Chains A and B, each alone.
Chain A
Amino acid sequence: MTSENILQVEDVTLSFGGTTVLDRVGFDVRAGEIRAIIGPNGAGKTSMLNCISGFYRPQGGRLLFGGEHDLAGGKRAAQLGIARTFQNIGLYNYLSALDNLMAARHIHMRQNMLASALFWGYARKEEARHRAVVEELIDFLEIAHIRKTMVGALPYGLRKRVELGRALALEPKLLLLDEPMAGMNAEEKEDMARFILDIHTRRGVTIVLVEHDMTLVMDIADRIVVLDFGTKIADGVPDAIRQDPEVIRAYLGQAS
């Protein structure tokens, strides 16, 4: 393993009951790249993300983060600097957009229960300091006009953007995006693609992306893993993936 690999997935096997969802899948993610995972429905893409974010515990294999931490034990993903968004949006619906982002600052804040309740001195300064960090993200994602709106009341595209902001508020080294553009129109997709590229280039965050829009994936991804029925069938740069006969058979279809 080279040192520039931020994430090393080795022979990860995951099964529920008798169903094998991931079968000895292995790939690596280099620091600073956009890595896409594609494949037909039920291929195990989201399960792979769940393994990386420590939500599922694979039965076999290793997930090495930063070359030393094995994520297969689960639970410490946030502390290590892994943030994610969800396929069906996992926001806190009754909090404002601002508070959703502030909630993601949780692990960066030090105030204890008593300090929170008294809101005096340190706690007050800390809240203001983290507010400044969050406001910078709000500016970046262009959601200033809805910062005090309850996210449950927001339209879908904006909620996706707030969720991206919440993941960024964790200041992750690795960002996992589960279908960030699903259900969006062309314009919203372009906006989201721009944000993803900006996060990548300006903030230097490594991104693992699951997405079905092939045009976009081929455009923004540096390298692509293709899964089919829980096994890896291809891995490489977009141009190679586009030509791969196995990928064309399983997913892309003849027309492309």
Chain B
Amino acid sequence: MAMLRPAGDFDRSYEQDMALLRQPWHYWLLGFSLLAAFTLPLWGDAYLVATANQIAYTIIAVQGLNILTGYTGQISLSQAAFMLVGGYASALLVIHAGLSFFVALPLAALAAGAIGLIFGLTSLRVKGFYLAFATLAAQFIIPWLSRHTFKEYLGGANGAIEVPLPQLGTVNFGEVSSYFYISLVVLLITTALLFNISRTRLGRAFVSIRDNDLAAELLGVNLFTYKLRAFFIAAMLAGLAGAIKAHSQRGVGTEFGYSLNESILYLGMLVIGGLGTNLGPFLGVAFIVLLEDLSDLLGGVLAAAFPELSGQLLTSFRPIFFGLALMLFLIYEPRGLAHRWQLLRAGWRLRPFAR
């Protein structure tokens, strides 16, 4: 699909052509979106802010998966496990090393990235389906280790440890309305970095590995080191998301999820949002989180109507809706919501000639 631009939109330099914000209304749109996001705790209720917080850190995890699976084409089923690494790393650094959360956060990301590198080593030898199974190993090993080793630090059979709340000077991030800003700012930073990656040397190397690894290698892209870079970035973002999630939930461990279910959920969010697009994680995560809220709502209504079945009704709609949504997307829009959005945009540019 050709990129259509409005009439009169010309570039005078290549820098101008590479710019993301090109039109005055781009700046306005970005400004208003940021304003809406930053004032959300002022006009939204606690439930909305909590949902937005959850969406924000989940997007970060899915952005990581997007680099690995969407851009580089390496299927991974272990994103939740790397979140667990990040969550534990940050918690332990704060509890035992006495570090501030804001110092522990980047360190947790690096720790998760390092673990990600170890599991990424398999990617040189195996591709596709087989790589998915190799990453599955990480998804089983890491939660198992968290339950069965270093029990006094990791919580052992409890499957959870308590995580203290972040504090910056006199500001306490105990309320979700203030904690939300941490998630939001980190999300904005990762988003900016990922937009840059996707339009520069690194992003092109990733996509070239996905689209034609043979040609990429013959054109001088070192497949192994670039796949490792993708694993590193993916695990690092998972670590960031995990650390934010752990401090937000005030606890970390297998009791809080971080299972294969979550990893598959993230992959599903990415597919529904659009693999290999910067917009995909945003749309996919928002779509699924809102769908989950809808299924909880529906489950609650039906449970009130049929009290004898309430146990099943309350829990069954999430997997049903997720499965259904994923199936429908795979059949009707395998390139995700982001592609649908691009088509809409192209149609708008071509009006009134679009079909």
A and B from one complex: yes
> Count the A-B residue pairs with Cβ separation under 8 angstroms: how many?
113
Q: Does B2 lie at the interface of the complex (its beta carbon under 8 Å from any beta carbon of A)?
A: yes
Q: Does B202 lie at the interface of the complex (its beta carbon under 8 Å from any beta carbon of A)?
A: yes
Within the complex, the shortest CB–CB distance from B288 to chain A, in Å, comes to 24
Please pick, from B194, B211, B216, B218, the residue contacting A94 in the complex, using a CB distance under 8 A: B211
1/0 per residue, CB under 8 A from A, across B213-230: the answer is 011111111000000010
With a cutoff of 8 Å between Cβ atoms, the chain B residues found around residue A150 in the complex are: 1
Q: How many residues of B contact A (CB 8 A)?
A: 34
Q: How far is the CA of A254 from the CA of B197 in the complex (A)?
A: 58
Question: Across the two chains, which residue of chain A brings its CB closest to B214?
Answer: A90
With a cutoff of 8 Å between Cβ atoms, the chain B residues found around residue A99 in the complex are: 204, 207
Are A127 and B218 CB-contacts (below 8 A) given A99-B204, A113-B229, A117-B202? no
* Among listed A1-9, A25-33, A102-110, A186-194, interface-contacting one: A102-110
Please pick, from A79, A92, A113, the residue contacting B211 in the complex, using a CB distance under 8 A: A92
1/0 per residue, CB under 8 A from A, across B189-201: the answer is 0000110110111
Q: Does A118 lie at the interface of the complex (its beta carbon under 8 Å from any beta carbon of B)?
A: yes
Q: Does A57 lie at the interface of the complex (its beta carbon under 8 Å from any beta carbon of B)?
A: no
Q: Does A128 lie at the interface of the complex (its beta carbon under 8 Å from any beta carbon of B)?
A: yes
Q: Does B74 lie at the interface of the complex (its beta carbon under 8 Å from any beta carbon of A)?
A: no
Q: Does B13 lie at the interface of the complex (its beta carbon under 8 Å from any beta carbon of A)?
A: yes
- Chain A, 68-93, CB within 8 A of any chain B CB: 75, 77-79, 83-84, 86, 90-93
Question: Which of B15, B204, B229: most chain A CB closer than 10 A?
Answer: B204
With a cutoff of 8 Å between Cβ atoms, the chain B residues found around residue A111 in the complex are: 200-202
On A, residues with C-beta under 8 Å from B are 53-55, 75, 77-79, 83-84, 86, 90-96, 99, 102-107, 109, 111, 113, 115-119, 123-124, 126-128, 131-132, 135, 146, 148-150, 153, 166, 170
With a cutoff of 8 Å between Cβ atoms, the chain A residues found around residue B208 in the complex are: 92, 95, 103, 106
Question: Across the two chains, which residue of chain A brings its CB closest to B277?
Answer: A94
Q: Does B14 lie at the interface of the complex (its beta carbon under 8 Å from any beta carbon of A)?
A: yes
With a cutoff of 8 Å between Cβ atoms, the chain A residues found around residue B211 in the complex are: 91-95
Are A116 and B214 CB-contacts (below 8 A) given A95-B207, A103-B205? no
With a cutoff of 8 Å between Cβ atoms, the chain A residues found around residue B3 in the complex are: 96, 148-149
With a cutoff of 8 Å between Cβ atoms, the chain A residues found around residue B214 in the complex are: 55, 90
